Amino acid sequence: MTNTAPAYLVLQSPRGSSRFPLVDCDSWAIGRGRENTIPLPDHCTSRNHAMIQRIAGWKYYILDLGSRNGTYVNGKRITLPCLLKSGDYISIGETILEFHAADTPNPRFQDESTELRLQKRRLITSLVVGIRNYSLISQQMEEKKLSELVSKWFRQATEIMTAHGSLVDQYVGESLLCLWIHEADAEIQQVAITEILAAFQTLQALKEMSESLNSDHQLPFSLCLGGAINTGYAYVDQSEEQTERVYPLFQVIGDGISKTFALETAIREMGLDIALGEKAHKLTPYAGVLLPFKQYFLNVTGYEQPLLTYGGSFFGITQFLEKVSVVFSE
Protein backbone atom coordinates (compact mmCIF):
# COMPACT_ATOMS: atom_id res chain seq x y z
CA MET A 1 0.00 0.00 0.00
CA THR A 2 2.96 2.30 0.55
CA ASN A 3 6.53 2.61 -0.62
CA THR A 4 9.56 3.75 1.34
CA ALA A 5 10.76 6.72 -0.72
CA PRO A 6 10.77 9.88 1.42
CA ALA A 7 8.88 13.04 0.67
CA TYR A 8 11.02 15.99 -0.38
CA LEU A 9 11.04 19.66 -1.31
CA VAL A 10 12.51 21.25 -4.42
CA LEU A 11 13.67 24.75 -3.45
CA GLN A 12 13.66 27.35 -6.20
CA SER A 13 15.12 30.79 -5.48
CA PRO A 14 16.99 33.56 -7.33
CA ARG A 15 20.18 31.69 -6.31
CA GLY A 16 19.15 28.45 -8.03
CA SER A 17 17.38 25.24 -7.08
CA SER A 18 18.09 22.42 -4.67
CA ARG A 19 16.41 19.37 -3.23
CA PHE A 20 15.70 18.79 0.47
CA PRO A 21 14.49 15.33 1.64
CA LEU A 22 12.02 15.33 4.53
CA VAL A 23 13.61 12.61 6.66
CA ASP A 24 14.89 11.85 10.17
CA CYS A 25 12.25 13.80 12.11
CA ASP A 26 8.60 14.81 12.11
CA SER A 27 8.93 18.59 11.75
CA TRP A 28 11.07 20.94 9.70
CA ALA A 29 11.46 24.63 10.53
CA ILE A 30 11.83 27.05 7.61
CA GLY A 31 13.19 30.59 7.79
CA ARG A 32 16.04 33.00 7.39
CA GLY A 33 17.75 32.03 10.67
CA ARG A 34 20.56 29.50 10.53
CA GLU A 35 18.95 27.51 13.35
CA ASN A 36 16.16 26.39 11.01
CA THR A 37 16.09 22.89 9.56
CA ILE A 38 15.67 24.49 6.15
CA PRO A 39 17.48 27.88 6.23
CA LEU A 40 16.57 30.23 3.41
CA PRO A 41 18.99 33.05 2.46
CA ASP A 42 16.04 35.21 1.44
CA HIS A 43 15.70 38.78 2.76
CA CYS A 44 11.91 38.59 2.30
CA THR A 45 11.69 35.62 4.65
CA SER A 46 11.18 35.96 8.40
CA ARG A 47 13.79 34.52 10.77
CA ASN A 48 11.31 31.81 11.85
CA HIS A 49 8.86 31.77 9.00
CA ALA A 50 7.04 28.44 8.68
CA MET A 51 7.09 24.80 9.70
CA ILE A 52 6.24 21.53 7.98
CA GLN A 53 4.75 18.98 10.37
CA ARG A 54 4.37 15.29 9.59
CA ILE A 55 1.32 13.61 11.12
CA ALA A 56 0.51 9.88 11.19
CA GLY A 57 3.80 9.23 9.42
CA TRP A 58 2.57 10.32 5.98
CA LYS A 59 0.42 13.46 6.18
CA TYR A 60 2.41 16.67 5.76
CA TYR A 61 1.02 20.01 6.95
CA ILE A 62 2.56 23.44 6.64
CA LEU A 63 2.01 26.09 9.31
CA ASP A 64 2.88 29.76 9.12
CA LEU A 65 4.66 30.89 12.30
CA GLY A 66 3.43 34.48 12.25
CA SER A 67 5.76 35.57 9.45
CA ARG A 68 5.89 39.16 8.24
CA ASN A 69 5.10 38.41 4.58
CA GLY A 70 3.02 35.28 5.02
CA THR A 71 3.13 31.74 3.67
CA TYR A 72 1.26 30.83 0.49
CA VAL A 73 0.19 27.45 -0.87
CA ASN A 74 -0.66 27.49 -4.56
CA GLY A 75 -1.04 31.26 -4.35
CA LYS A 76 -3.35 31.32 -1.31
CA ARG A 77 -2.18 32.72 2.03
CA ILE A 78 -2.66 30.30 4.93
CA THR A 79 -3.43 30.94 8.59
CA LEU A 80 -4.55 27.42 9.57
CA PRO A 81 -2.43 24.28 9.04
CA CYS A 82 -2.63 23.29 5.38
CA LEU A 83 -2.43 19.67 4.25
CA LEU A 84 0.09 19.41 1.45
CA LYS A 85 -0.46 17.36 -1.69
CA SER A 86 2.24 16.20 -4.03
CA GLY A 87 2.94 18.94 -6.56
CA ASP A 88 1.84 21.82 -4.31
CA TYR A 89 3.82 25.05 -4.52
CA ILE A 90 4.74 26.84 -1.31
CA SER A 91 5.74 30.50 -1.58
CA ILE A 92 7.93 31.89 1.21
CA GLY A 93 9.40 35.32 0.47
CA GLU A 94 11.06 35.06 -2.93
CA THR A 95 11.55 31.31 -2.56
CA ILE A 96 9.32 28.66 -4.10
CA LEU A 97 9.25 25.19 -2.54
CA GLU A 98 7.65 22.42 -4.57
CA PHE A 99 6.39 19.58 -2.39
CA HIS A 100 6.63 15.96 -3.51
CA ALA A 101 5.23 13.09 -1.43
CA ALA A 102 6.29 9.68 -2.62
CA ASP A 103 5.51 8.07 0.74
CA THR A 104 1.80 8.89 0.85
CA PRO A 105 -0.77 6.08 0.97
CA ASN A 106 -3.75 6.54 -1.28
CA PRO A 107 -6.64 7.51 1.04
CA ARG A 108 -9.19 6.55 -1.59
CA PHE A 109 -9.27 2.78 -1.78
CA GLN A 110 -9.40 1.36 -5.28
CA ASP A 111 -11.10 -1.79 -4.01
CA GLU A 112 -12.58 -1.07 -0.61
CA SER A 113 -13.60 -4.65 0.16
CA THR A 114 -10.11 -5.92 -0.62
CA GLU A 115 -8.38 -3.15 1.30
CA LEU A 116 -10.49 -3.65 4.38
CA ARG A 117 -9.60 -7.34 4.47
CA LEU A 118 -5.94 -6.37 4.49
CA GLN A 119 -6.42 -4.07 7.47
CA LYS A 120 -6.85 -4.93 11.14
CA ARG A 121 -10.06 -4.12 12.99
CA ARG A 122 -8.93 -2.50 16.22
CA LEU A 123 -10.54 -0.91 19.21
CA ILE A 124 -9.62 2.76 19.43
CA THR A 125 -10.43 5.78 21.55
CA SER A 126 -10.47 8.96 19.53
CA LEU A 127 -10.46 12.59 20.61
CA VAL A 128 -11.46 15.54 18.44
CA VAL A 129 -10.76 18.98 19.88
CA GLY A 130 -10.68 22.39 18.26
CA ILE A 131 -10.99 26.16 18.56
CA ARG A 132 -14.70 26.81 18.26
CA ASN A 133 -14.53 30.59 17.95
CA TYR A 134 -11.71 30.66 15.40
CA SER A 135 -13.83 32.52 12.82
CA LEU A 136 -14.68 35.26 15.33
CA ILE A 137 -11.06 35.66 16.41
CA SER A 138 -9.82 35.68 12.80
CA GLN A 139 -12.08 38.65 12.05
CA GLN A 140 -10.51 40.67 14.87
CA MET A 141 -6.80 39.87 14.41
CA GLU A 142 -4.32 40.77 11.69
CA GLU A 143 -3.08 37.78 9.70
CA LYS A 144 0.46 37.84 11.07
CA LYS A 145 -0.65 37.66 14.71
CA LEU A 146 -3.37 35.15 13.86
CA SER A 147 -0.87 32.83 12.14
CA GLU A 148 1.50 33.07 15.09
CA LEU A 149 -1.29 32.23 17.55
CA VAL A 150 -2.72 29.33 15.52
CA SER A 151 0.65 27.73 14.78
CA LYS A 152 1.62 27.95 18.45
CA TRP A 153 -1.68 26.36 19.51
CA PHE A 154 -1.39 23.48 17.05
CA ARG A 155 2.27 22.80 17.87
CA GLN A 156 1.66 22.82 21.63
CA ALA A 157 -1.52 20.77 21.23
CA THR A 158 0.39 18.16 19.23
CA GLU A 159 3.06 17.99 21.95
CA ILE A 160 0.40 17.58 24.65
CA MET A 161 -1.41 14.82 22.79
CA THR A 162 1.82 12.94 22.10
CA ALA A 163 2.91 13.30 25.75
CA HIS A 164 -0.34 11.59 26.79
CA GLY A 165 0.33 8.56 24.61
CA SER A 166 -1.87 9.35 21.63
CA LEU A 167 -1.14 9.30 17.92
CA VAL A 168 -2.02 12.59 16.26
CA ASP A 169 -3.88 11.57 13.13
CA GLN A 170 -4.79 14.76 11.34
CA TYR A 171 -5.46 18.49 11.43
CA VAL A 172 -9.00 19.30 10.30
CA GLY A 173 -9.54 23.03 9.88
CA GLU A 174 -9.19 24.49 13.36
CA SER A 175 -9.40 21.03 14.99
CA LEU A 176 -7.11 18.09 15.81
CA LEU A 177 -7.87 14.38 15.80
CA CYS A 178 -5.80 12.05 17.97
CA LEU A 179 -6.09 8.34 18.69
CA TRP A 180 -5.29 5.77 21.32
CA ILE A 181 -5.06 2.41 19.53
CA HIS A 182 -5.71 -0.27 22.13
CA GLU A 183 -4.07 -3.70 22.31
CA ALA A 184 -4.74 -5.87 19.28
CA ASP A 185 -6.92 -8.34 21.20
CA ALA A 186 -8.61 -5.78 23.44
CA GLU A 187 -12.34 -5.84 23.86
CA ILE A 188 -14.50 -3.05 25.27
CA GLN A 189 -14.28 -4.38 28.83
CA GLN A 190 -10.49 -4.93 28.67
CA VAL A 191 -9.20 -1.43 27.91
CA ALA A 192 -6.78 -0.12 30.52
CA ILE A 193 -8.16 2.63 32.73
CA THR A 194 -5.04 4.73 32.13
CA GLU A 195 -5.73 4.81 28.40
CA ILE A 196 -9.23 6.19 28.90
CA LEU A 197 -8.17 8.70 31.54
CA ALA A 198 -5.44 9.91 29.17
CA ALA A 199 -8.12 11.40 26.90
CA PHE A 200 -9.57 13.41 29.81
CA GLN A 201 -6.09 14.49 30.92
CA THR A 202 -5.32 15.60 27.38
CA LEU A 203 -8.42 17.78 27.29
CA GLN A 204 -7.56 19.35 30.62
CA ALA A 205 -3.99 20.11 29.48
CA LEU A 206 -5.25 21.61 26.22
CA LYS A 207 -7.62 23.87 28.14
CA GLU A 208 -4.81 25.05 30.43
CA MET A 209 -2.51 25.67 27.46
CA SER A 210 -5.20 27.69 25.67
CA GLU A 211 -5.80 29.83 28.76
CA SER A 212 -2.07 30.55 28.85
CA LEU A 213 -2.17 31.68 25.22
CA ASN A 214 -5.14 33.91 26.02
CA SER A 215 -3.06 35.91 28.47
CA ASP A 216 0.17 35.83 26.44
CA HIS A 217 -1.44 37.20 23.27
CA GLN A 218 -4.03 39.56 24.80
CA LEU A 219 -6.72 38.21 22.49
CA PRO A 220 -9.90 40.15 21.73
CA PHE A 221 -11.79 36.98 22.69
CA SER A 222 -10.59 34.05 24.76
CA LEU A 223 -9.98 30.81 22.87
CA CYS A 224 -13.09 28.69 23.22
CA LEU A 225 -12.41 24.96 22.95
CA GLY A 226 -14.73 22.04 22.42
CA GLY A 227 -14.32 18.35 21.74
CA ALA A 228 -15.56 14.78 21.81
CA ILE A 229 -14.23 11.47 23.13
CA ASN A 230 -15.45 8.24 21.59
CA THR A 231 -14.45 4.58 21.80
CA GLY A 232 -15.28 2.17 19.00
CA TYR A 233 -13.89 -0.06 16.30
CA ALA A 234 -12.06 1.10 13.20
CA TYR A 235 -9.75 -0.38 10.61
CA VAL A 236 -6.10 0.41 11.25
CA ASP A 237 -3.61 -0.04 8.44
CA GLN A 238 -0.21 -0.48 10.05
CA SER A 239 1.81 -3.39 8.68
CA GLU A 240 4.71 -5.04 10.49
CA GLU A 241 7.09 -3.29 8.13
CA GLN A 242 5.55 0.07 9.03
CA THR A 243 5.68 -0.49 12.80
CA GLU A 244 9.44 -1.01 12.58
CA ARG A 245 9.89 2.49 11.19
CA VAL A 246 11.11 5.25 13.49
CA TYR A 247 8.06 7.29 12.41
CA PRO A 248 5.45 4.61 11.58
CA LEU A 249 2.80 5.10 8.95
CA PHE A 250 -0.76 4.43 9.90
CA GLN A 251 -4.18 5.03 8.46
CA VAL A 252 -7.47 4.68 10.31
CA ILE A 253 -10.97 4.58 8.88
CA GLY A 254 -14.34 3.51 10.17
CA ASP A 255 -17.37 4.39 12.26
CA GLY A 256 -15.26 4.80 15.40
CA ILE A 257 -13.72 7.92 13.85
CA SER A 258 -16.67 9.41 11.98
CA LYS A 259 -18.89 9.13 15.05
CA THR A 260 -16.43 11.23 17.08
CA PHE A 261 -16.69 14.11 14.62
CA ALA A 262 -20.48 13.75 14.52
CA LEU A 263 -20.75 13.88 18.32
CA GLU A 264 -18.55 16.97 18.52
CA THR A 265 -20.72 18.78 15.97
CA ALA A 266 -23.94 17.81 17.74
CA ILE A 267 -22.77 18.75 21.24
CA ARG A 268 -21.42 22.09 19.98
CA GLU A 269 -24.87 22.96 18.65
CA MET A 270 -26.22 22.35 22.16
CA GLY A 271 -23.74 24.85 23.62
CA LEU A 272 -21.81 22.25 25.63
CA ASP A 273 -18.02 21.83 25.77
CA ILE A 274 -17.48 18.10 25.60
CA ALA A 275 -19.28 15.04 24.26
CA LEU A 276 -18.54 11.56 25.59
CA GLY A 277 -19.69 8.58 23.54
CA GLU A 278 -21.62 5.70 25.12
CA LYS A 279 -18.76 3.16 25.03
CA ALA A 280 -16.20 5.68 26.26
CA HIS A 281 -18.53 6.48 29.16
CA LYS A 282 -18.79 2.79 30.10
CA LEU A 283 -14.99 2.53 30.17
CA THR A 284 -14.49 5.67 32.25
CA PRO A 285 -13.92 4.68 35.89
CA TYR A 286 -16.62 5.84 38.31
CA ALA A 287 -18.24 7.93 35.54
CA GLY A 288 -21.71 7.31 36.92
CA VAL A 289 -20.91 8.90 40.28
CA LEU A 290 -17.90 11.18 39.76
CA LEU A 291 -18.31 12.61 36.25
CA PRO A 292 -20.84 15.50 36.25
CA PHE A 293 -22.00 14.92 32.67
CA LYS A 294 -25.65 14.68 31.71
CA GLN A 295 -27.16 12.03 29.46
CA TYR A 296 -28.56 13.02 26.06
CA PHE A 297 -30.00 11.26 23.03
CA LEU A 298 -28.67 13.17 20.03
CA ASN A 299 -30.02 13.12 16.50
CA VAL A 300 -26.83 12.91 14.49
CA THR A 301 -26.50 13.16 10.72
CA GLY A 302 -25.74 9.77 9.20
CA TYR A 303 -27.33 7.74 12.01
CA GLU A 304 -30.92 6.50 11.88
CA GLN A 305 -31.35 6.23 15.65
CA PRO A 306 -30.48 8.90 18.26
CA LEU A 307 -27.06 8.34 19.82
CA LEU A 308 -26.74 8.01 23.58
CA THR A 309 -24.19 10.65 24.54
CA TYR A 310 -22.95 12.34 27.69
CA GLY A 311 -22.28 16.06 27.61
CA GLY A 312 -20.56 18.43 29.99
CA SER A 313 -17.96 21.10 30.56
CA PHE A 314 -14.21 21.45 30.98
CA PHE A 315 -14.83 22.35 34.60
CA GLY A 316 -16.61 19.03 35.00
CA ILE A 317 -13.54 17.23 33.65
CA THR A 318 -11.30 19.03 36.14
CA GLN A 319 -13.60 18.02 39.00
CA PHE A 320 -13.71 14.44 37.78
CA LEU A 321 -9.92 14.06 37.47
CA GLU A 322 -9.40 15.48 40.95
CA LYS A 323 -11.90 13.05 42.47
CA VAL A 324 -10.56 10.05 40.54
CA SER A 325 -7.01 10.79 41.64
CA VAL A 326 -8.19 10.74 45.27
CA VAL A 327 -9.96 7.39 44.76
CA PHE A 328 -6.93 5.73 43.19
CA SER A 329 -4.57 7.14 45.81
CA GLU A 330 -6.50 5.53 48.68
Q: Is 79 helix (H, G, I), strand (E, B) or coil?
A: coil
First to last CA, the chain: 49
State pLDDT tens for residues 126-180: 999 999 999 998 888 888 888 999 999 999 999 999 999 988 878 888 999 999 9
pLDDT at 279: 92
Q: Can you give the three-state secondary structure of 181-216, one letter per residue?
A: ECCCCCCHHHCCHHHHHHHHHHHHHHHHHHHHHHHH
Residue 76: pLDDT band with limits 50, 70, 90: very high
In this model, does residue 249 exceed pLDDT 90? no
3-class secondary-structure state, position 318:
helix
- State the pTM of this model: 0.82
Q: In which element (H, E) is residue 124 found?
A: strand 120-131
Distance, C-alpha 177 to centroid of its chain: 4
Each residue's pLDDT tens digit, 226-236: 999 999 888 77
pLDDT score, position 238:
54
- Is the model more confident about 203 or about 258? 203
Whether residue 124 contacts residue 232, with contact meaning beta carbons closer than 8 Å, is answered with: yes
In sequence order, which ranges of the chain are alpha helices (DSSP H)? 112-118, 134-140, 143-163, 193-217, 240-243, 255-269, 278-283, 287-290, 314-329
pLDDT bucket at 55, cuts 50 / 70 / 90: confident
Does residue 240 surpass a pLDDT of 60? no
C-alpha–C-alpha distance, residues 256 and 54, integer Å: 23
Q: Is the pLDDT of residue 109 over 90?
A: no
Q: How many CB atoms lie within 10 A of CB 118?
A: 12
* pLDDT at residue 93 greater than cutoff 50: yes
Rounded to the nearest integer, the mean pLDDT of the chain is 85
Rounded to an integer, what distance in angstroms lies between the CA atom of residue 88 and that of residue 131?
Answer: 27
Higher pLDDT, 250 or 147: 147
pLDDT digits (tens, 9 = 90+) for 1-24: 444 578 999 998 777 789 999 988
**pLDDT for 245 beyond 90:** no
